[in-house]
C-alpha cells in the first residue's frame, strides 16, 4: 500500500494540472463579437509587398479590410485622422475585421457591400449607358453609366445582350460590389432594361448561346438587334 500511494498522488497532481490548463467550454469556442471603436490613425497596416490591408490606431488596435478596398481606404483616411471602425473582434489580440471605416472629420466612409439576398437588396443602379467596358482581350464585359457607375458581367452574358449594352440604352442592375468615395462598381446579379424585366445573370448565361444557333458555327458572334 505504501508503494502505491506516491503513484496515486502523482497521478492526482497530473490530473489537477491538466484540468487547470484545459480551456473551458467557451474559451475554445469563443465567437466573434460585434464592435464599434473610435481612435486616431498612426499608420496604414502594410503587407510585406507594401499593400495596404488596414489601419493601426494609436492604442495598438489593428483594423483590417479586404484588399480590394485598400485604394478607397487610402483615399478616405490618412495617418493622424480620427476614425470610427465597425466590425467584428478577432479571436485573439486587438484586431477588428472591419465592415466600415469612417473618417470622423469628413464623414466619408469605406464599407463592404452586403451581398444581395443576405438581409439586404445589395447595390442597385439605373441609368443610361455611357460607354462599354472590356476585358484585357478586348471583349465587352460591362458598361459604365452616365453617372459613372460601372457594371460588370461575364463576357458570355455581354455577348448575348450586346444591343442592350449599347451607349444610350437604359439599363438596370443589382448585385454586389463597392460604393464609396472612389465611385460605384457592381458585379451584376440581375440586369436588364428596367427592374421589372431584369433577369438573373445565371439565367442569361444559359440563354446567351440561344442567340447564335446552338448547332451553328462558332463564328456567329453578335446576335441580331431584331427582337
Same domain flag for 75 and 132: no
Q: How much is the pLDDT for 93?
A: 78
Is residue 223 situated within a structural domain? no
Q: How far is CA 116 from CA 19, 83, 185, 188, in A?
A: 47, 28, 14, 10
Residue that the C-alpha cell 463592404 belongs to: 112
User: In the block, which residue shows the cell 485622422?
Assistant: 81
Cα 16 to Cα 2, 8, 10, 25, 28: the distances in Å are 22, 12, 10, 17, 19
Q: For residues 117 and 114, give the distance between their C-alpha atoms in angstroms, rounded to a whole number.
A: 9
Per-residue pLDDT tens over the stretch 16-29: 433 333 433 333 33
Residue 166 domain flag: yes
Query: Which residue range forms the structural domain that includes residue 192?
Result: 123-210
pLDDT at 150: 94
Which has the closest alpha carbon to 34: 96, 82, 119, 122? 96
Grid cell, residue 45, equals 497596416
Q: How many domains does the chain have?
A: 2
Stated pTM of the model: 0.52
The tens digit of pLDDT for each residue in 37-84 reads: 999 999 999 988 888 999 999 999 999 998 888 888 999 999 999 999
- Specify the pLDDT at position 32: 60
Closest to 73 (Cα-Cα) out of 42, 32, 45, 33: 45
Please check whether residues 143 and 205 belong to one and the same domain.
Answer: yes
- Is 158 domain-assigned? yes
Residue 116 lies in a domain: no
Chain centroid to Cα 201, Å, comes to: 19
The verdict on residue 75 lying in a domain is yes
pLDDT confidence of residue 136: 85
In a domain, 16, yes or no: no
| Ranges of residues in the chain whose predicted pLDDT is under 50 | 1, 3-4, 6-31, 116-121, 203-227
| Residue carrying C-alpha cell 465611385 | 183
pLDDT for residue 14: 40
Name the 3-class secondary structure at 117.
coil
CATH number where 180 lies: 2.40.50
State residue 199's pLDDT score.
82
Rounded CA-CA distance 132/128 in Å is 11
150 shares a domain with 194: yes
Considering the domain boundaries, does residue 94 fall inside one? yes
Q: What SS3 state is found at 165?
A: helix
Pair (104, 68) in one structural domain: yes
CATH at residue 95: 2.40.50.140
Statement to judge: residues 65 and 128 lie in one domain: no
| Residue 185 resides in a domain | yes
Whole-number Cα distances in Å, 75 to 43, 102, 147, 183: 14, 12, 20, 11
| Residue among 55, 27, 22, 25 at smallest CA distance from 39 | 55
In the beta sheet, which residues pair with residue 145?
Answer: 129
Amino acid at each position: 500500500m505504501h508503494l502505491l500511494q506516491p503513484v496515486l498522488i502523482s497521478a492526482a497532481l497530473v490530473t489537477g494540472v491538466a484540468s487547470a490548463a484545459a480551456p473551458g467550454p467557451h474559451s475554445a469556442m469563443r465567437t466573434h463579437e460585434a464592435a464599434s471603436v473610435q481612435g486616431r490613425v498612426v499608420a496604414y497596416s502594410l503587407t510585406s509587398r507594401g499593400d495596404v490591408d488596414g489601419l493601426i490606431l494609436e492604442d495598438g488596435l489593428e483594423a483590417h479590410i479586404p484588399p480590394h478596398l485598400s485604394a478607397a481606404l487610402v483615399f478616405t483616411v490618412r495617418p493622424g485622422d480620427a476614425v470610427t471602425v465597425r466590425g467584428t473582434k478577432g479571436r485573439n489580440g486587438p484586431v477588428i475585421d472591419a465592415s466600415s471605416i469612417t473618417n470622423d472629420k469628413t464623414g466619408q466612409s469605406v464599407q463592404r457591400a452586403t451581398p444581395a439576398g443576405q438581409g439586404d437588396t445589395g447595390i442597385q443602379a439605373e441609368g443610361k449607358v455611357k460607354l462599354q467596358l472590356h476585358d484585357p482581350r478586348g471583349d465587352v464585359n460591362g458598361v459604365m453609366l452616365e453617372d459613372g457607375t460601372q457594371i460588370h458581367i461575364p463576357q458570355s452574358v455581354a455577348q448575348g445582350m450586346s444591343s442592350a449594352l449599347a451607349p444610350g440604352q437604359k439599363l438596370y442592375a443589382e448585385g454586389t460590389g463597392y460604393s464609396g468615395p472612389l465611385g460605384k462598381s457592381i458585379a451584376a446579379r440581375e440586369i436588364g432594361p428596367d427592374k421589372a424585366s431584369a433577369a438573373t445573370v445565371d439565367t442569361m448565361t444559359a440563354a446567351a448561346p440561344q442567340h447564335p444557333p446552338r448547332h451553328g458555327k462558332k463564328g456567329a458572334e453578335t446576335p441580331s438587334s431584331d427582337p
